[in-house]
C-alpha cells in the first residue's frame, strides 16, 4: 500500500452534523448580516468549496498559516505553498483578505458614492508608484553548486525577501502580488535567456501594467533591449493610444513602443469617454472578425533595437514580410469551437513539458515539426550564442499568448480570459535563429489598490471574495448606471450595492430562495469590464485639462496629410482639408480616417 491517504466515505449523517456546526459558528458572529449579505456569503462559500475540500484532505496548495496581527488574524500562504512543492507548482498564489475586511468592505459598498471628476482617470508615474517595491532577483550562484544547494539558496532568499516586504510595508496597503517562488523562477529564466524583452501591457491602463522595477532591472542592470507593446488598442480611441505613446516616450526614452491588436478598431468612435460611446461598447458582439494589427511594426521594432550578435545573421526584411502575410490569412482562428478549445486546454494540463504548442486543426507532432518548438534546457542561463531570443513578460491577462498566436496566424499556445492561464514558459521558433519565449503572467509587488487590480484583470474573478468595492471604485469614475441602462432610483443616490441589485433585476439573476443574486450580478459586471465591454480607460496627466496631446497629434496629422497628398499629386495649398481628404485614395482614407475626424473636431472646437 502507498503512503497516500485513502478517501474516506462521508455519510449524510456526518454532513448534517457538519452543517449544524457551521450554522452555530455563523450565529456566534456578533455582527448581524442582512439577508443580502448572507446570500453573498453563500456564493463565496460555493466558489471556494473545492479549495476547502482539498485543504481538509491535505492535498491542496491552499493551506494557511496564521500570522498574528494586532488588529486581526491574517492568512498568508504556507511555506510549502510559497515554494511550490505540489503537483500544481506554477499556480499563482496570493494573500487572502480576512473575513473582517470582507464584511467591512461589503457594508461600505452599501453607502452612496460621490461621482469624481474626469481627471480622476488621469494617472502618472509619480502618483501610481510613489514607492517602487523591488521584486526578487535570482540570488548569486556558481556551477559548483548542487541542485539542492541552489534551490535551498533560492528558497532562503525568497523567504527573506517576502519577510522584508511585509515588515517594511503595511499589509493593508500592499497589493495582490505573486507569492509562489516557482512562478518567479520562470521569470528569472526568461529574463536570463532573452536578448530582447517585450513588456506587454493593456492599453486601457498601461501605466498600471508597467512595473518600474522591472524596467530598471532589464534596461539599466541587465543592459538588455526592451520593447513596450500596447495591446488591445481596438478597445480605446486613437487619441488615447497616441497620448499614452507620447507620455511613455517622455518618461522612458530608452524603450521602443508598438501598438498591437487582434481586432480592428472602429474609427467612428473618436471619444472613448462619452457616455454614448460607453453604452455602445456593451452591445459589442462577443465574436468579432479576427484581424491582427501591428505584427509588422512589432518585428520592425525588434529589428530597430540594432541588436548585434557575432554568430547570428537575420534577414529581418524577409521575416517581416513572411509574418505580415500570416496576419492577412489568419481568419481560421474564428472557426475554432468551444470543444476544440477545451480539448487544447486538457492536453496542456496533462503536459509536463515546459513547451506547449497546440493547434485546433492539426495534431501536436505536425505543429512541432512546422513551428520547430523547442524546450529550454535547465542549464541555459544566458542568451544563446547562435539564437536571438525575444522574451514576453507582463501581468496576467494582458494578451501575451494571443500576441504569439497572431504572429503565427494560428493557435500555437492556448489562451484564456482567466489570469495566469499560461503557467510554464514556452518557446517557439520564428525562424532558424529567432525564437519567441512566452512567460507566465506575474503580478509584481506594489501599493496599488486591490480593488483596482481586480478591475485590471490581475486577479481571477472566480476567486474574488468581495466584488462590490471594485464596482464602487469604477462607478465613482464612470457613469456605470447609465452605461448599463439601469432604472433610476427614486432618491437618485446610487451605491455599488444598488447598482448590482438593479443589474440583477435587469438580468433576472435570482437565487434558489428567490432572492436577488447580487453577488452573481457583481461578478458579471466585473467580467464585462475585463472583456472590454464596459470600458474603464485611464489617461495620462493633462489629458482632460490641456490640449497638449491634441495639438501634437494635429500637427502630425497635418504633416501626414501633406505627405499623402504629395504622393497623390494633390494641391496642398487648398485651405479646405476636407477637399484634400476626399481626393485621397481609399487606402489613404482608411489610414487617416480616425485621425481626420479628430482633426475636424479640433478645428470645430477651436472655432
Q: Quick one: pLDDT at residue 142?
A: 84
Q: Please list, in sequence order, all residues whose beta carbon lies within 8 angstroms of the beta carbon of residue 467, skipping any fewer than 6 positions away.
A: 454, 461, 519, 522, 523, 525, 526
Distance CA 168, CA 165 (A): 5
What's the pTM value of the predicted model, to 2 decimals? 0.73
* CA distances to 115, 269, 451, 477, 536 from 473, in Å: 10, 25, 7, 7, 10
Specify the pLDDT at position 320: 84
Return d(Cα 68, Cα 277) in angstroms, integer: 49
How would you class 12 by CB atoms within 10 Å of its CB: exposed for 0-12, middle for 13-18, buried for 19 or more? exposed
Alpha helices, DSSP H, located in 194-307: 212-215, 238-251, 275-282, 295-303
The helix/strand/coil state of 356 is: coil
**Please, how many CA atoms are within 13 Å of residue 360, restricted to the half-sphere of its CB?**
18
CB–CB of 34/516 below 8 Å? no
Q: What does DSSP say about strands 196-202 and 225-231: parallel, antiparallel, or unpaired?
A: parallel
Tens digit of each residue's pLDDT (9 = 90 or more) over 324-335: 665 555 444 444
Q: What is the CA radius of gyration of the chain?
A: 26
β-pairing, 388-393 with 434-438? parallel
Q: How far apart are CA 455 and CA 606, in angstroms?
A: 36
Q: What is the reported pLDDT for 565?
A: 67
Contact 55, 62 (CB under 8 A): yes
**pLDDT value of residue 326:** 58
Residue 5 is predicted with a pLDDT of 60
Neighbour count for residue 231 (Cβ, 10 Å): 26
CA 391 to CA 194: how far, in whole Å?
Answer: 5
What is the rounded CA–CA span in Å between residue 103 and residue 37?
9
pLDDT per residue as tens digits for the range 282-326: 666 555 666 788 888 999 999 998 888 877 788 888 888 887 665
Closest CA relative to residue 521, chosen from 43, 103, 101: 43
Distance CA 359, CA 370 (A): 11
469 exposed, middle or buried (CB, 10 Å; 0-12, 13-18, 19+)? buried
pLDDT < 70: residue spans in the chain: 1-7, 28-91, 267-268, 281-290, 324-382, 384, 414-425, 561, 564-607
> Is 227 within 8 Å of 421 (Cβ atoms)?
no
Q: Give DSSP secondary structure letters for 477-507.
A: TS-HHHHTTPPPPSS---BHHHHHHHHHHHH
Contacts of 430 (CB under 8 A, 6+ apart): 319, 323, 390, 407, 436
Rounded CA gap, 276 and 198, in Å? 35
Amino acid at each position: 500500500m502507498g503512503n497516500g491517504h485513502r478517501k474516506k466515505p462521508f455519510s449524510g449523517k456526518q454532513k448534517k452534523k457538519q452543517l449544524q456546526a457551521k450554522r452555530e459558528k455563523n450565529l456566534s458572529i456578533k455582527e448581524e448580516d442582512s439577508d443580502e449579505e448572507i446570500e453573498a456569503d453563500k456564493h463565496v462559500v460555493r466558489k471556494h468549496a473545492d479549495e476547502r475540500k482539498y485543504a481538509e484532505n491535505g492535498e491542496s496548495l491552499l493551506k494557511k498559516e496564521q500570522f498574528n496581527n494586532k488588529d486581526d488574524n491574517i492568512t498568508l500562504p504556507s511555506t510549502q505553498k510559497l515554494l511550490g512543492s505540489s503537483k500544481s507548482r506554477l499556480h499563482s498564489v496570493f494573500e487572502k483578505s480576512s473575513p473582517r475586511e470582507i464584511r467591512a468592505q461589503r457594508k461600505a459598498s452599501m453607502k452612496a458614492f460621490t461621482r469624481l471628476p474626469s481627471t480622476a482617470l488621469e494617472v502618472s508615474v509619480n502618483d501610481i508608484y510613489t514607492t517602487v517595491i523591488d521584486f526578487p532577483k535570482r540570488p548569486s550562484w556558481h556551477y559548483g553548486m548542487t541542485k539542492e544547494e541552489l534551490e535551498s539558496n533560492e528558497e532562503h532568499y525568497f523567504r527573506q525577501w517576502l519577510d522584508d516586504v511585509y515588515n517594511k510595508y503595511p499589509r493593508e496597503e500592499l497589493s495582490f502580488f505573486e507569492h509562489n517562488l516557482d512562478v518567479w523562477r520562470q521569470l528569472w529564466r526568461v529574463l536570463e535567456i532573452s536578448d530582447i524583452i517585450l513588456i506587454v501591457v493593456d492599453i486601457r491602463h498601461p501605466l498600471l501594467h508597467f512595473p518600474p522595477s522591472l524596467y530598471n532591472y532589464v534596461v539599466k542592470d541587465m543592459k538588455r533591449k526592451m520593447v513596450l507593446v500596447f495591446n488591445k488598442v481596438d478597445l480605446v480611441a486613437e487619441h488615447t493610444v497616441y497620448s499614452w505613446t507620447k507620455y511613455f516616450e517622455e518618461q522612458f526614452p530608452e524603450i521602443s513602443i508598438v501598438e498591437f491588436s487582434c481586432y480592428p478598431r472602429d474609427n467612428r468612435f473618436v471619444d472613448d469617454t462619452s457616455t454614448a460611446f460607453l453604452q455602445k461598447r456593451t452591445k459589442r458582439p462577443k465574436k468579432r472578425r479576427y484581424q491582427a494589427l501591428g505584427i509588422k511594426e512589432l518585428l520592425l521594432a525588434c529589428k530597430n533595437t540594432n541588436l548585434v550578435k557575432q554568430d547570428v545573421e537575420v534577414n529581418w526584411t524577409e521575416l517581416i514580410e513572411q509574418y505580415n502575410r500570416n496576419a492577412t490569412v489568419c481568419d481560421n482562428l474564428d472557426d475554432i469551437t468551444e470543444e476544440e478549445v477545451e480539448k487544447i486546454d486538457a492536453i496542456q494540463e496533462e503536459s509536463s513539458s515546459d513547451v506547449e504548442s497546440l493547434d485546433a486543426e492539426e495534431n501536436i507532432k505536425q505543429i512541432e515539426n512546422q513551428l520547430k518548438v523547442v524546450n529550454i534546457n535547465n542549464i541555459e542561463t544566458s542568451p544563446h550564442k547562435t539564437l536571438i531570443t525575444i522574451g514576453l513578460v507582463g501581468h496576467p491577462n494582458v494578451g501575451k499568448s494571443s500576441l504569439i498566436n497572431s504572429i503565427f496566424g494560428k493557435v500555437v499556445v492556448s489562451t484564456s480570459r482567466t489570469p495566469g492561464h499560461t503557467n510554464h514558459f514556452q518557446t517557439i521558433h520564428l525562424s532558424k535563429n529567432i525564437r519567441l519565449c512566452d512567460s507566465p503572467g506575474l503580478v509584481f509587488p506594489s501599493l496599488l489598490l486591490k480593488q483596482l487590480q481586480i478591475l485590471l484583470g490581475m486577479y481571477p474573478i472566480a476567486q474574488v471574495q468581495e466584488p462590490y468595492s471594485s464596482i464602487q471604485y469604477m462607478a465613482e469614475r464612470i457613469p456605470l448606471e447609465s452605461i448599463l441602462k439601469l432604472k433610476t432610483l427614486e432618491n437618485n443616490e446610487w451605491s455599488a450595492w444598488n447598482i448590482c441589485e438593479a443589474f440583477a433585476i435587469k438580468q433576472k439573476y435570482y437565487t434558489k430562495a428567490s432572492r436577488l443574486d447580487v453577488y452573481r450580478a457583481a461578478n458579471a459586471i466585473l467580467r464585462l469590464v475585463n472583456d472590454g465591454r464596459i470600458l474603464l480607460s485611464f489617461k495620462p496627466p493633462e489629458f482632460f485639462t490641456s490640449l497638449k496631446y491634441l495639438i501634437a497629434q494635429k500637427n502630425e496629422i497635418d504633416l501626414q496629410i501633406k505627405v499623402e497628398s504629395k504622393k497623390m499629386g494633390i494641391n496642398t495649398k487648398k485651405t479646405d482639408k476636407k477637399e484634400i481628404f476626399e481626393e485621397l485614395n481609399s487606402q489613404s482614407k482608411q489610414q487617416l480616417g480616425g485621425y481626420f475626424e479628430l482633426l475636424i473636431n479640433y478645428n470645430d472646437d477651436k472655432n
